[in-house]
Amino acid sequence: MLIAGFPAGPWGTNCYVAATAPGAECVVIDPGKDAADGVAEVVREHKLKPVAVLLTHGHVDHMWSVTPVAGTYDATAWIHPGDRHLLADPMAGMSPETAQMMLGGSYEFTEPEDVQELGDSQTMELAGLDFVVDHAPGHTEGSVTFRTPYAQQDISEVMFSGDLLFAGAIGRTDLPGGDHPTMLRSLTDKVLPLADDIVVLPGHGEQTSIGRERATNPFLLQLLDEQSGAGRPHRGR
């Protein structure tokens, strides 16, 4: 399996390209601002053909380039219906600081020609890869993760976690559509049951693993304490 990732744009959003092998079809995950050239470079280097663009959520730093990337390769864009409106109206999900960064620019956002909607626990085969979709709201209403089998180097799966889970942190919940209690439920229901050997490829920052985060991430540790009754229930940061 081939996975190439690179940080793109002013927000350093990780964009990933995944394929079964060089010379095969591939999927692009979260092409943010300035990601189109990076995608083209990976595609050219490994002789790939993008057939799908997967979005973990609709924030502009993750979907800025979805329409040009999907259009260039005649690929299908996939997003959860809870965030689909952000494809054409990303301002609806922006923080004040993000909106300020865009002031003075002339930007027009439209949906790609072919958009399909994702469902919770959906399984799909794209570019010869099997993906499980987990709806994990909290950061946004339509946030999802994508898990695909890996079966190499004692790794059972790779999870593209978007802004649900980072190395040592979790996604913010103070933006439009965000909700902290919902985020904690998503972490409890969608992350804690997963196997320790799963590699996590997040939307920002370095890769990690479920086992590492279960052992060190303060937000997951708090949830585990509350599950076991070892700590007094309290709200995370």
**3-state secondary structure (DSSP) of residue 2:** strand
Residue 54 lies in a domain: yes
Note whether 39 and 16 are within 8 A (CB).
no
Residue 71: predicted pLDDT? 96
Q: Give the C-alpha separation, 29 to 126, whole Å.
A: 12
Residue 233 lies in a domain: no
Note whether 172 and 139 are within 8 A (CB).
yes
What's the gap between Cα 47 and its chain centre? 24
Q: pLDDT tens-digit profile of 176-211?
A: 899 999 999 999 999 999 999 999 999 999 999 999
Residue 236: predicted pLDDT? 36
pTM: 0.90
Residue 125: predicted pLDDT? 97
Confidence of residue 90 (pLDDT cuts 50, 70, 90): confident
Note whether 94 and 118 are within 8 A (CB).
no
Residue 24 lies in a domain: yes
* Percent of the chain residues past pLDDT 70, beyond the cut: 91
Average pLDDT over residues 30-51: 97
Confidence of residue 232 (pLDDT cuts 50, 70, 90): very low
What's the gap between Cα 201 and its chain centre? 8
The total domain count for the chain is 1
Q: pLDDT tens-digit profile of 149-167?
A: 997 878 999 999 999 999 9
Residue 180 lies in a domain: yes
109 CB-near residues (< 8 Å, 6+ apart): 60, 67, 87, 88, 89, 90
Confidence of residue 228 (pLDDT cuts 50, 70, 90): confident
Residue 237 lies in a domain: no
Residue 146 lies in a domain: yes
Residue 88: predicted pLDDT? 86
For residues 149-177, one letter each, b for 16 or more C-beta atoms within 10 angstroms of the residue's C-beta and e for the rest, the string is ebeeeeebbbbbbbbbbbbebbbebebeb
Residue 237: predicted pLDDT? 28
Residue 234 lies in a domain: no
Average pLDDT over residues 119-141: 97
Residue 231: predicted pLDDT? 46
Confidence of residue 92 (pLDDT cuts 50, 70, 90): confident
Q: Give the C-alpha separation, 65 to 54, whole Å.
A: 12
Q: What are the residue ranges of helices labelled H in 148-228? A: 180-186, 210-216, 218-228
CA atoms in the 13 A half-sphere facing the CB of 225: 15
CATH number of the CATH domain containing 126: 3.60.15.10
Residue 201 lies in a domain: yes
Residue 201: predicted pLDDT? 98
Flag whether pLDDT at 106 surpasses 80. no
Structural domain that includes position 6 = 2-228
Average pLDDT over residues 221-227: 92
Residue 117: predicted pLDDT? 97
Q: Provide the token pair at 100.
A: 């300020």
Mean pLDDT value across the chain: 91
